[in-house]
C-alpha cells in the first residue's frame, strides 16, 4: 500500500459499504487474493501474519497532538503514540455518522472484549471530523457505548484538523443531503506503537477476530523488542 492509496467509504447501505470496503482493500494492497499481509520478524522471516494492511513505508504520526476531551485527558494535548510496550488504535469519524463509524467502533470494542490478556496495554482514540457539533461531552458519551476509557480527540482549530488528517492520509468531505450534514471519509483504523509508527491499518469491515489477532501478535512483538533493548 503506497502513501497515495487510500480507502474511502461514503454513506450508503450496509451492502454497498461492504462492497466499497472490499474494493478499497484490493486497491490498497495492489491486487486481489488473500487480504492478509505479512510482517517480517527481526530475523527477516514472514512468521507473523497480520490481517490488516501494511503501508510501505509506514506512516509516522507521533508528532500529531490533539486536545483530549476525555475525563482523564482534561483537554490536555494527547500525542499519537501508544504507552510503553502498548498499542494505540486511532479512528477518525463523527458521532452522527449513520453507519461506518458505529460499526467500526463496535467491531473494535468486540475485539478488545474478547482479549484474554493485554487489554490494559491497548488504548483507543477517536478524532472527530465535526468539532462544532462533537463537543467533548458528546464524543465521550458516544465512545462509552463501544469502548471503556477511550480518548475523545477534538481539534481546537482548522489547522490542527488539517495537520492530523494530512499526517494520517485521511480525507473527509462534507456532504449535505436533505438538510443533514454528513461526511464521506476515509474508513481506516490505525494501529500505532509507542514510537508513533503505524504498524497496520484496518479497512472498514475488518472482523473483530482479525483485529484481535493483529493486536495480540503486535503486543507480543513490541514486548519482545522492549526485552531485547534491556539486554
Mean pLDDT over 17-37 rounds to 34
d(CA 46, CA 40): 4
d(CA 32, CA 96): 33
Summarize pLDDT for 186-221 with one digit per residue, the tens. Answer: 999 999 999 999 999 999 999 999 999 999 999 999
Return the percentage of the chain with pLDDT > 70, whole number.
78
User: Domains in the chain, please, with CATH?
Assistant: 8-230 (3.40.30.10)
d(CA 75, CA 69): 5
214 in Cβ contact with 54 (< 8 Å): no
Mean pLDDT over 107-135 rounds to 96
Distance of CA 144 to the CA centre of its chain: 17
Q: Is the pLDDT of residue 101 over 70?
A: yes
Mean pLDDT over 163-174 rounds to 96
Summarize pLDDT for 34-58 with one digit per residue, the tens. Answer: 333 333 333 333 345 899 999 999 9
pLDDT band of 227, cuts 50, 70, 90: low
pLDDT at 231: 65
Distance of CA 225 to the CA centre of its chain: 23
pLDDT at 179: 85
Q: Is the pLDDT of residue 29 over 70?
A: no
In three-state form (DSSP H/G/I as H, E/B as E, the rest C), the secondary structure along the chain is CCCCCCCEECCCCHHHHHHHHHHHHHHHHCCCCCCCEEECCCCCCCCEEECCECCCCCCECCCCEEEECCCCCCCCEEECCCCCCCEEEEEEECCCCCCHHHHHHHHHHHHHHCCCCCHHHEEEEEEECCCCCCCHHHHHHHHHCCCCCCEEECCCCHHHHHHHHHHHCCCEEEEEECCEEEEEEECEEEEECCCCEEEEEEECCCCHHHHHHHHHHHHHHHHHHHHHHHC
pLDDT at 48: 59
Other CB atoms within a 10 A radius of the CB of residue 175 amount to 13
pLDDT at 8: 53
pLDDT band of 182, cuts 50, 70, 90: very high
Most confident option among 2-11, 89-98, 220-229: 89-98
Q: Is the pLDDT of residue 105 over 90?
A: yes
Lowest-confidence segment of 23-27, 174-178, 213-217 by average pLDDT = 23-27
Q: How far apart are the first and last CA of the chain?
A: 34
Q: Is the pLDDT of residue 23 over 60?
A: no
Return the percentage of the chain with pLDDT > 90, whole number.
71
pLDDT band of 229, cuts 50, 70, 90: confident
More confident residue, 14 or 60: 60
Amino acid at each position: 500500500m503506497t502513501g497515495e492509496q487510500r480507502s474511502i467509504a461514503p454513506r450508503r447501505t450496509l451492502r454497498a459499504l461492504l462492497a466499497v470496503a472490499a474494493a478499497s482493500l484490493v486497491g490498497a494492497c495492489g491486487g486481489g487474493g488473500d487480504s492478509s499481509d505479512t510482517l517480517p520478524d527481526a530475523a527477516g522471516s514472514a512468521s507473523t501474519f497480520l490481517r490488516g494492511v501494511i503501508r510501505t513505508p509506514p506512516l509516522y504520526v507521533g508528532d500529531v497532538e490533539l486536545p483530549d476531551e476525555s475525563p482523564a485527558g482534561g483537554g490536555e494535548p494527547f500525542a499519537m503514540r501508544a504507552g510503553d510496550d502498548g498499542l494505540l488504535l486511532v479512528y477518525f469519524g463523527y458521532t452522527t455518522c449513520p453507519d461506518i463509524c458505529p460499526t467500526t467502533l463496535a467491531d473494535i470494542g468486540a475485539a478488545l472484549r474478547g482479549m484474554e490478556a493485554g487489554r490494559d496495554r491497548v488504548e483507543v482514540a477517536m478524532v472527530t471530523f465535526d468539532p462544532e457539533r462533537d463537543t467533548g461531552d458528546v464524543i465521550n458519551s458516544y465512545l462509552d457505548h463501544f469502548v471503556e476509557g477511550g480518548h475523545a480527540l477534538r481539534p481546537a482549530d482548522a489547522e490542527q484538523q488539517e495537520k492530523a488528517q494530512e499526517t494520517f492520509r485521511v480525507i473527509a468531505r462534507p456532504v449535505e443531503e436533505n438538510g443533514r450534514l454528513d461526511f464521506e471519509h476515509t474508513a481506516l483504523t490505525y494501529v500505532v506503537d509507542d514510537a508513533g509508527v503505524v504498524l497496520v491499518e484496518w479497512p472498514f469491515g475488518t472482523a473483530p477476530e482479525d483485529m484481535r489477532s493483529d493486536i495480540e501478535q503486535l503486543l507480543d512483538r513490541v514486548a519482545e523488542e522492549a526485552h531485547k533493548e534491556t539486554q
